[in-house]
Every structure is written in structure tokens, then in C-alpha cells.
Structure 1
């Protein structure tokens, strides 16, 4: 019988690291996951094989440009089966993984209600994986997006807790979280109607993400900036930032997201 070594455990979590940093193209990362997944399946290490599934599915749904992501239309039956089994077996770590990457994917595609639903379900598991601030970052972006849509103050309260957590992460490791904090502050300033401060924070977030080489989060920051400028009547700056977002998502390899942007941009 084959057992999973510490190195293999680290490799599973390392898969998350590669997604978090965005420094490996999605196509290369998918190949990386495929090889390791096949090794885990061959050696009957199904726990670790399943742990890779949420990341692998998120990567696939960002890469490919045909049809709508299965997650967003409730047709990812394999992942649903794994989630049900994780809940039945009280495997909070696997359930949390599914909810974390589900939230990330739903947010990137603009399904904010689904994103906050995943975030809330993860909190209900009682098991959290901060992933160097990524979890709080996407939770908070989702809460702030819901605040924009609904005007409900409960989302601001939820966002404030996540911003506090990101602030702590940024003090420990600025290169991972400086740009995250700046973008969240920009979104909050936008909600509060502080236009000049928000504009400055968006530009600072984009510069910091570029400096720290978080290409996918630089893309997200540009997309959020574009929507901010469009809401505030500056179509020229909005067009610039939408163009930057498309270019950066394409460099990351997220072809489906690029196609989604092209169809949804209101310019």
C-alpha cells in the first residue's frame, strides 16, 4: 500500500500557492496538476486526488472559452459529489477548499451572490485556510460587490472584518498583500462616494500588484478600476483599464474570462 509523504502533502498545498501567486500560466499550471493528480490516482491516494479537484476545476473554467463555467450553472456534478462526500465524512478541509475556490471563480465571473454564498458556507464548516490572505481578499471583494449592488450595510460590516485581516497580513508580508489591501480600500472608498481617494487607491493597487508580480490580481484591480471610472462618467479611463484587464487576464491564460469581459463591457 502506498502512503502519502509530507512532500506530497506540501505539493497539494503548493498547487494552491501557484494559483494564489498567478506567476505560473494557467495552461502550465493545469499540466502540473494533471501529472500530480494522475500519480495520486495511480497510487490510490484519493484524498489528495480530491483535494486537487477544486483548484483544477477553477483553472479549467478560467482557461477554456466554450460555454459557461459549469460551476456557475450548477452542473459540476463531480465536484458536487466530492463536496457531499466531504460533508458526510466531516472532512472540513476538503469542503473548505471547494468553497474557497468556488468563491474565487464566482467572483471573477461576476456572480457575486454565488461568491458570498460560498464564503458563508465555508465559515459554517468551522475550518478556514487563509492562503496568505487570498481567502479574505476574495471574501471581501465579494462582500463589497454585494454592497455596491444592494446598498445593504451588512456587507460593509462583513467586509470590514476581512479588511482588518488583510491589513494584518500586509504588515507581515507586504509583497503578498499590499496590493490586496489597497484594492479593498479603493472599493470601500468608492462605496462611500470618496471619488478622488478611491481613484488614487485603485492606481496604487494596480502599481503594487505589478511590482509584486501578481498578474491576475493586477488584472482584477484594473477591471475594478474600469468599472469605478465608468460609474463616475470617465469613459476614457474606463476603456484604458478594461484594455489592461483583458491583456493581463490573457497573459495569465484566462481566455474564458477575456471572452466574458469582451461580451459584458458596457462601452
Structure 2
């Protein structure tokens, strides 16, 4: 493998690692990987050899900007919007993140909704779950607690459908801490072979008992 191929592979692996950090809302890893992308050099579009990398770098940059207020990150996030997007829902999410970061909350809310709908239509379950959770974070951070609850519940359901068990548990714990007992809790059912664990909404279980 030559140097260029090795660097591309490392970039791909870092993009996947950062996507996982975004899914788990692990800001320390998001920030660390964002700094690694930045250290590679600018313009970042040279790093983003495909739409997935651009998507991840864009989301990372918007998140770091909101945490640090460093305009460099907002500039780089906007740079990624010049990429050629594979999925329209990703483009809409980037626009939602920009509106949120710029304080245009009404526009952001509408764009998050559109991104969720487009992800659902494209049957991209991981992105639909992530976008729903990002929309929930947005609403929670701007004081729309009722809307935040609803979007967290949607995200929870989508992570369950995806089978992302560790994320389901983490989101469930966060939502219970934030909203109390009104958020659905999780119990687990073990399949006959003992190898697969499936989450069950406790309210649904009680309703069918």
C-alpha cells in the first residue's frame, strides 16, 4: 500500500470513528478527531474524498463551533456544504445545523424535520436515528422541552429498530435523567439460543401483560 492509499484509509477510519462518536454524543472524541482533521491541513474539502467524510466533518465542525464559539469551525462546517451529497437528508441536516449554529431557530426546526423525513424516505435508519437525536438536542438546548421529549422518543425508537443496543441504553438513561419516569424504560428479552438480546419498551410490555 502506498502512502496516499494509507492516508486515505486512515481518513476513512477516522471518519467512521467520528461518526460513532457523534452517535454516542461523545464530545471529547468528536473534538479530538476534529482536531486531527484540522491538523491534516486545509482546505478540508481535500480530505473529504466522499460525501460520508464531508458529512462527518461538517457535523463535527458545527458541534465544536457551538461548544467553543471559535468561528474557524463554523467556516469549515460551511465549507463542507460545497460537497457533492449522496443523500438529500444529509444536505438538509447540514443546513439545519448551520441555522441552529447561527441562531435561526425557526429555520433550523423546519430543516431538522425535513431531514428526518428525507432520511426515512431513503430508508437510512442510522441517519434517521441520529438526525432525530440531533433535533432533540436542538430543541432541548433552545428550551423546547416538549418537542425535545418527542424527538428523543423518535430517536429511541429508531435506535431500537436499528439494533444499536449500547446506544439505546445510553439514550434511555439520559432521557430518564432529563425527563423522569415519563420516558419509556427498557427491559430485555433473550432469544432461545441465548445469543441475541432485544430491547422491549416497558410500557408496551405492561399493556400486553
TM-score computed with the length of structure 2 as normaliser: 0.74
Q: Which of 211, 215, 224 is equivalent to 2:134? A: 224
Does residue 1:142 correspond to 2:56, yes or no?
no
Q: Report if the CA contact (8 A) 2:34-2:61 is conserved.
A: no
> Aligned partners of 1:90 and 1:130: how far apart in 2?
12
Report if aligned partners of 2:78, 2:98 keep a CA contact under 8 Å in 1. Answer: no
Cα RMSD for the two superposed structures: 2.5
The alpha-carbon distance between structure 1 residues 162 and 113, as it changes in their structure 2 partners (threshold 3 A), is farther
Paired residue for 2:89? 179
Deviation of 1:160 (Å): 0.9
Out of 157, 160, 163, the position equivalent to 2:75 is 157
Which structure shows the bigger proportion of residues in strand conformation? Answer: 2
Pick closer, same or farther for the CA change 1:154–1:247 going to 2, 3 Å.
Answer: same
* Cα distance in 2, alignment partners of residues 244 and 232 from structure 1: 19
Deviations 1:119-145 (A, max 9, x none): 4535629984634x1111111111111
Gaps of 5+ in 1: 1-46, 48-85, 171-175
Distance change >3 Å, CA 231–CA 125, structure 1 → 2: closer
Higher RCO by CA contacts (8 Å cutoff, separation 6 or greater)? 1
Query: Separation in 1 of the partners of 2:145 and 2:36?
Result: 37
- Unpaired runs of 5+ residues, structure 2, are 180-209
Partner Cα distance (1:138, 1:90) in 2: 20
Offset at 1:110? 1.5
* Correspondence for 2:20: 105
Going from structure 1 to structure 2, the CA distance change for 1:154 and 1:122 (only over 3 Å counts) comes to closer
Contact conserved, 2:48 with 2:54, CA < 8 A, in 1?
no
What is residue 164 of structure 2 aligned with on the other side?
A: 254
1:9 aligned residue? none
Question: Does residue 130 of the first structure (1) align with residue 40 of the second (2)?
Answer: no
1:146–1:236 distance in 2 versus 1, CA, 3 Å: same
**More helix by percentage:** 1
Matched, 1:121 2:31: no
Partner of 1:242: 152
Deviations along 1:203-246, one digit per CA (max 9) or x if unpaired, are 11111111111111111111011111112222221111101101
Which one of 106, 121, 124 corresponds to residue 196 of structure 1? 106
C-alpha deviation, 1:183, in angstroms: 0.7
After superposition, what is the alpha-carbon deviation per residue over 1:52-105, rounded to whole angstroms, capped at 9, x for unaligned?
Answer: xxxxxxxxxxxxxxxxxxxxxxxxxxxxxxxxxx98x98223322321211111
Which residue is equivalent to 1:209? 119
